């Protein structure tokens, strides 16, 4: 099976703009999670989608949003970008309906906000 893919791999945006990142999970995986990784805060959970519904949400402001489509592909959107949003954004998919919640990660999208 093909792994989790994320597009684009690299992105440079200006403060105040918005950005949309895309994630295609492994075929058959219905759960998609998003994480933000920064040197200062480490790996932080953003949200998780399962069957087009947001099932879990982390402690991020409303500028961060996401959605999942019927084919399980997911997008996350960040509006009104801030310098602190510069990070590696990781998407992960899981085959589990319920635990133990082993996850398969994509290569990430490196977002730089200038």
Partner 1 sequence: SQQGEEDPQALSIQEGENATMNCSYKTSINNLQWYRQNSGRGLVHLILIRSNEREKHSGRLRVTLDTSKKSSSLLITASRAADTASYFCATVRTGFQKLVFGTGTRLLVSP
Residues that bind partner 1 (CB under 8 A): 4, 33, 35, 42-45, 48, 55-56, 58-59, 88, 90, 92, 98-108, 110
Q: Which residue has the tokens 């200038």?
A: 114
Of 11 and 88, nearer to partner 1 (C-beta) is 88
Asked whether the beta carbons of 23 and 63 are under 8 A apart, the reply is no
Pick between residue 62 and residue 102 the one whose CB is nearest to partner 1: 102
**Of 39 and 62, which has the nearer Cβ to partner 1?**
39
- Say how many Å lie between the first and final Cα of the chain, rounded: 37
**Cβ–Cβ < 8 Å for 81, 25:** no
Contact between residue 11 and residue 111 where contact means Cβ atoms under 8 Å apart: yes
Shortest Å distance, C-beta 48 to partner 1: 6
Q: Quote the least distance from Cβ 20 to partner 1, whole Å.
A: 19
Q: Which is nearer to partner 1, 9 or 17 (CB)?
A: 9
In the complex, the smallest distance separating the C-beta of residue 61 from partner 1, rounded to whole angstroms, is 15
Instruction: Bin 24: left if φ > 0, else alpha if -120 < ψ < 50, else beta.
Output: beta
């Amino acid at each position: 099976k093909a792994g989790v893919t994320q597009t684009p791999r690299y992105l440079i945006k200006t403060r105040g703009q918005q950005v949309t990142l895309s994630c295609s999970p492994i075929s058959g995986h219905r759960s998609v999670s998003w994480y933000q990784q920064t040197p200062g805060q480490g790996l932080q959970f953003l949200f998780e989608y399962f069957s087009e519904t947001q099932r879990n949400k982390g402690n991020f402001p409303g500028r961060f949003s996401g959605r999942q489509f019927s084919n399980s592909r997911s997008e996350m959107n960040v509006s009104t970008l801030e310098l602190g949003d510069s990070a590696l954004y990781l998407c992960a998919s899981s085959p589990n309906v319920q635990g133990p919640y082993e996850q398969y990660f994509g290569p990430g999208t490196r977002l730089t906000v200038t």
